[in-house]
């Protein structure tokens, strides 16, 4: 059988995640066409068993993509179309760094920050939307914004990213808490001594963090080291002087 892709055409440009209709014509001089399969970069998209041969390709990925159609006739013989190359523009993507998706935000650390990237271009603007209201925007990396009115409570935030081609996408809505920084409670402590010096281990907790620390001091007091050993959920910030 003979087969050719009639839509899209070579060089067509699409936007990531949009739906594209792929169409092909197929004939067989001494039989009938039983089906037409559609592929991108060697991956099967789907097939059609009746003319007009077409398929809707949903949520197309970004990048340069090669499309091919393969027609099969009633005897199992196959014909392959010429390759049609298209370009799919990628949308910008973003991930929140602060507030931390798992740990929220401690009052006083009010810088909203997002890691925004564009696979085939440049992110030109990030808008911060808090509880449905735009707080402000950042136009260069690092994409961050000072949140002047931060207060203890629960909030929802998302960001809208715009790239150099005007493509726009947004992050998922992030629900997070703002905590009041609190004093640290020592849960337990142990003291030991060996040939290297004196070792102190203790566990601490505040409203948002449980952590274990180890402090070692040499016998001659020439050095002092402090190490955080573990941190358990919920995690936030804790200090000890």
Rg (CA), the chain: 29
Best CA proximity match to 36, nearest among 25, 7, 58, 21: 25
At 66 the pLDDT is: 97
Mean pLDDT (10-residue bins), the chain, 241 residues = 96 90 96 96 95 92 94 96 95 93 83 94 96 96 92 94 94 91 59 65 51 52 48 38 34
| Rounded Cα gap, residues 37 and 29, in angstroms | 19
* Torsional sign, CA 128, 130, 133, 136: negative
Q: What would the DSSP string read from start to end of 20-35? A: EEEEEEEE-TTS-EEE
| Rounded Cα gap, residues 66 and 39, in angstroms | 8
Q: Do 147 and 135 contact (CB within 8 A), yes or no? A: yes
Task: List the beta strands (DSSP E) in 31-179.
Answer: 33-40, 43-48, 53-57, 63-73, 78-80, 84-89, 93-98, 105-106, 111-117, 123-130, 133-138, 143-146, 153-163, 168-170, 174-179
At 234 the pLDDT is: 37
Best CA proximity match to 62, nearest among 83, 81, 41: 41
Neighbours of 236 (CB within 10 A): 23
């Amino acid at each position: 059988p003979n087969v050719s892709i009639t839509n899209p055409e070579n060089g067509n440009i699409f936007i990531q995640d949009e739906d594209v209709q792929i169409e092909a014509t197929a004939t067989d001089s001494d039989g009938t066409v039983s089906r037409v399969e559609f592929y991108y970069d060697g991956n099967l998209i789907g097939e059609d068993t009746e003319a007009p041969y077409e398929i809707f390709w949903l949520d197309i990925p970004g990048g340069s993509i090669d499309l091919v159609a393969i027609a099969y006739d009633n005897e199992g013989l196959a014909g392959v179309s010429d390759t049609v190359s298209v370009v799919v523009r990628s949308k910008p993507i973003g991930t929140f760094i602060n507030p931390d998706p798992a740990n929220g935000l401690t009052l006083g650390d009010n810088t909203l920050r997002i890691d925004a990237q564009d696979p085939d271009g440049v992110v030109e603007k990030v808008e911060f939307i808090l509880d449905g209201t735009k707080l402000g925007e950042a136009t260069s990396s690092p994409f961050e914004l000072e949140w002047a009115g931060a207060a203890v409570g629960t909030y929802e935030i998302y960001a809208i990213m715009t790239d150099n081609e005007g493509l726009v996408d947004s992050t998922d809505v992030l629900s997070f808490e703002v905590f009041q920084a609190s004093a640290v409670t020592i849960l337990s402590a142990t003291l030991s001594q060996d040939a290297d010096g004196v070792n102190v281990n203790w566990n601490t907790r505040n409203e948002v963090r449980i952590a274990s620390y180890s402090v070692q001091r040499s016998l001659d007091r020439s050095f002092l080291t402090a190490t955080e050993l573990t941190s358990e959920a919920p995690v936030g910030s804790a200090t000890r002087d």
